[in-house]
Amino acid sequence: MEFSYYEPAPALRELVSSYYFVSLPFEVSDIMRAEIANVRFILQGHVASNLSGEDADFQPGDAALCGPTYGWSRIKFAAGTRIFGAAITPLGWRRLFSVSAEKLADDHAPLQEYVPSAAKPLIAEIFGQKDNDAVVRAADALFSSFVSEKRLVHDDFIEQATHWIVDPEPNEIEHLLDHVDLSHRQIERLCKAYFGAGPKRLHRKFRALHAANRLTWMNLSDWRDIARAAYYDQAHFIREFKQFNGRTPQEFINGPHILVRMTLEERLKINHGSPFSLVG
């Protein structure tokens, strides 16, 4: 399996935090942990996924807008599959797509349904390129073509909420409330619109992702110190870790889980326009 990250054009990096390519010369069945929003282009091969109990198949030429997910899912790649993807930040979701992140949370839809008519031919351009650099340039052209500055965006809230969830130190919801002058109802509504879920669920997801990231990046063999730092007890930690990562902490340490490990290791090799895509 080959996994590589690329940086989008500077003007796009607050919206599209990173690009990535995945190439699988052999068949792979694996688990996808909870993710941030993505756009994925199937360049070659075949992908079968099971998200929220529903089977989906993707063929070459398919472009999917994938909302943020709040649980693990199973995925299978046919031999010879090659995928190009783009990690979408909460600000990018709002500037690029006219749909609430909550509507597509734990779901996906054809990208063509959510881009202007003038941008649709640019989707096809991505599939016609011969090398990675050319695909990246085509993606820059595609996303740049339909950025909308007209949609109202609560920039300060997105910034504060992003800092809150990407901070690796334990942060409860009260930390967010202290930094935004908004009511509980407003925070709930904005979190769902930009991040796909309310603040409690968002907090639980990123706490579990941070734990998995630490196990990988710090090459830890004992998860108990992480559990003590952010969870009530070990049972609570194990339950939530598995809910969002698809494995218990010990299974995560011992198992191959090729896709997740390679993803996390490769992410450290580029600068991310937003720490959101580094963590999630």
Residue 230: the pLDDT is 64
Q: What is the CATH number of the domain that holds 99?
A: 2.60.120.10
Q: Check residue 212 and give its pLDDT.
A: 85
User: What is the model's pLDDT at position 64?
Assistant: 97
Q: What is the pLDDT of residue 270?
A: 66
The DSSP secondary structure of 102-137, one letter per residue, reads TTTTT-EEEGGGGS-GGGHHHHHHHHT-SSHHHHHH
**Domain range for 140:** 2-148
| Model pLDDT for residues 107-156, shown as the tens digit of each residue | 999 999 999 999 999 999 999 998 999 999 999 999 999 998 888 889 99
Indicate the DSSP class of residue 271.
-
Using alpha carbons, list the distances in angstroms from residue 257 to 104, 115, 168, 251, 262.
26, 34, 22, 9, 9
Nearest-CA neighbor of 127 among 44, 220, 46?
Answer: 44
pLDDT at residue 170 in the model: 61
Task: With respect to residue 275, please indicate whether it lies within any of the assigned structural domains.
Answer: no
* Cα Rg, the chain, nearest whole Å: 18
Q: Which of the residues in the chain have pLDDT under 50?
A: none
Query: Pick from 115, 148, 181: which residue ends a domain?
Result: 148
Question: What pLDDT sits at residue 237?
Answer: 87
Indicate whether 45 and 133 sit together in one domain: yes
Q: What percent of the chain has pLDDT over 90?
A: 60
Identify whether residues 113 and 208 lie together within a single domain: no
121 and 6 both lie in a single domain: yes
